[in-house]
Structure 1
Amino acid sequence: MRKFAFALLSTIVLSPNSVWAADLGSVRMPTKTQAIAQQIGNWTGFYIGGNVGYGWGSYGASNATGTLVNVNGGAAPYSFNPVAGNGNGVTAGIQAGYNWQIEQAVLGIEADWQYLNSKATAGNSAIALPAAIGGNFSGSTSVSTDWYATFRGRVGYAYGSTLLYATGGIALAETKVGANATGSIPTSLFPLTYGPLGSMNASDRAVLVGYVVGGGLEYALGAGWSVKGEYLHMGFGTNGYNLTGSLQSPTGLTGVITTHVDIKPSFDIARVGMNYRF
């Protein structure tokens, strides 16, 4: 009888524990790898980062005119060689934005500010001085862009740790146009020698507003970090530049150089960068 009671008590006490143990064994806690995968697959949030790359600049020039006026009371037109060429250089800067992820679709906004080393130069502008003065001037013109900024929307598709996106919006860029001329004048006929006649420098700059389109690929590394590769194309409308400079002459001559040119720049940018998402 005692043996039967002991066996019955053991069954009542031990059987629930066995059931609980079986239930606990069937419940699996999230692993560290799964937690990281969930974090990598979520692109929602603010981010900030930096980038570096290379820019290909193209400057179209038109409607170029130039006149050297009031040289000791005279005036003379000269042939102005406008800048129309390529200005390629390094670009680097910072970006910040915000993403919203809806299932696999990712919508976002982004703004960036960039340094750009872009400059194109044209030379051999010849200025014909009045015959009473003699001598000549030769000069060159340049156009350069030191910075640009963009304000863009982003539309992307996320699959795993990868985000493929298209982007577009508004672009700003400051473009500077410069012109210079250096003159010489005969100081002796026998033998024929030339001395400095003087020099003139003039410049004008403007902040241009245009468009930007492009796309990229971003890869999440985990812990909020991601790396990306991106291509952008920027186009700007035509802007007129008026340059005026005074003659600096050791011979006492006075004069003013005036120049006008229309410039239409565009840029292609390829860059890589890194973001940190909060």
Structure 2
Amino acid sequence: MLRALTVGFLVVGLGGAAIAADVPSGPLAAPVAVPGGFDWTGFYFGAQVGAGWGSSSWTTPSTRYSIDWDQRGFFGGLHAGYNRQVGAFVLGVQGDVDFAGLDGDKRDVNYNVRFKTDQNWLASIDLRAGWALDRTLIYGIGGAAFTTASHSIANLSGVPSHQYDGNRIGWNLGGGAEYALDPKWSLRAEYRYTDFGKADFAQVQMGSGVVYAHDYSVRAQTVRAGVSYHF
């Protein structure tokens, strides 16, 4: 029994000495920290510029008259929002407003009439949801859209006959990508489709007193580039 204990102590002692010989002398070096991914959580605001194209249509159901025309132009404005990142998933809310010049018109020589649409501003309140690949965020965006559309009808000589101005509420849907240059600044590129639906109007024809019902619709597609500052 004594001999077995003696042999055991010798084995443990020799093993400990061997392990101690492999341990470097002096203070141990601190472990090297592995940097984490970029965090998109927080408030931000920024500016954007873009171009848009779309179409308007005018319909008089009682006479089956219908006409479409294109709109084009540029816009620029501001945006602000908040992101919350959980893992790689990013969810946020954003609002933006743009001063726009999306205009278009069409002449119908058969009826001696010219239709024209002007949109001077665009705005939206949206949800953003995306997937973060470190400094790159791929996202979808969608929500409520707002504008004021001005529709005018005149003869081909320029004499106006009707003017319809009204605030319009619709929806927009799109997607984009954003890249963080550093913890404070990011760049983005984005596409959206916007539909403001139809608006109905009644017109009383001079002389006959006949009431005609009309409706017009406004749709637009936009591409934009922006820069954001993150708090």
| TM-score category (smaller protein) | 0.7 to 0.9
Q: Secondary structure at the match of 2:39?
A: coil
- Structure 1 residue 181, shift from structure 2 partner: 3.7
Contact kept, 8 Å, 2:126 with 2:144, in 1: the verdict is: yes
Q: Secondary structure at the match of 1:27?
A: coil
Contact kept, 8 Å, 2:115 with 2:154, in 1: the verdict is: yes
Deviations 1:96-131 (A, max 9, x none): 00000111111100010012211221224677xxxx
Distance 1:173 1:237 in 2: 12
Percent of counterpart pairs with the same letter?
27
Distance 2:61 2:166 in 1: 17
Q: Secondary structure at the match of 1:237?
A: strand
Give the aligned residue type for 1:206. G
Distance 2:159 2:61 in 1: 20
Give the aligned residue type for 1:163. L
Distance 2:213 2:156 in 1: 18
Contact kept, 8 Å, 1:83 with 1:142, in 2: the verdict is: no
Deviations 1:142-175 (A, max 9, x none): 1121111111001111111101111111111111
Distance 1:154 1:199 in 2: 46
Deviations 1:16-38 (A, max 9, x none): xx96x522xx11576xxx7xx65
| TM-score, normalised with respect to structure 2 | 0.76
Give the aligned residue type for 1:59. S
Indicate the structure (1 or 2) with the bigger Cα radius of gyration.
Answer: 1
Deviation >4 Å, runs of 4+: 124-127, 198-201, 241-244
Give the aligned residue type for 2:78. I
Return the match for 2:46 from 46, 49, 58: 49
Partner of 1:140: 114
Gaps in structure 1 of 5+ consecutive residues: 1-17, 66-78, 128-137, 184-197, 247-257
Give the aligned residue type for 2:195. G
1:166 equivalenced with 2:140 (yes/no): yes
1:277 equivalenced with 2:230 (yes/no): yes
Partner of 1:112: 96
- Residue correspondence of structure 1 range 109-258 to structure 2 within 5 A: 109-124=93-108, 138-181=112-155, 199-200=159-160, 202-241=162-201
Partner of 1:100: 84
Deviations 1:246-274 (A, max 9, x none): 9xxxxxxxxxxx98642111111111100
1:27 equivalenced with 2:30 (yes/no): yes
Distance 1:232 1:84 in 2: 21
| TM-score, normalised with respect to structure 1 | 0.64
Partner of 2:217: 264
Distance 2:147 2:49 in 1: 17
Distance 1:161 1:122 in 2: 46
**Count of residue pairs brought into register by the alignment:** 205
Distance 1:116 1:83 in 2: 24
Distance 2:187 2:94 in 1: 15
Structure 2 vs 1, CA of residues 100 and 200 (structure 1 numbering), >3 Å: closer, same or farther? Answer: closer
Distance 2:228 2:48 in 1: 9
Structure 2 vs 1, CA of residues 123 and 115 (structure 1 numbering), >3 Å: closer, same or farther? Answer: same
Partner of 1:130: none
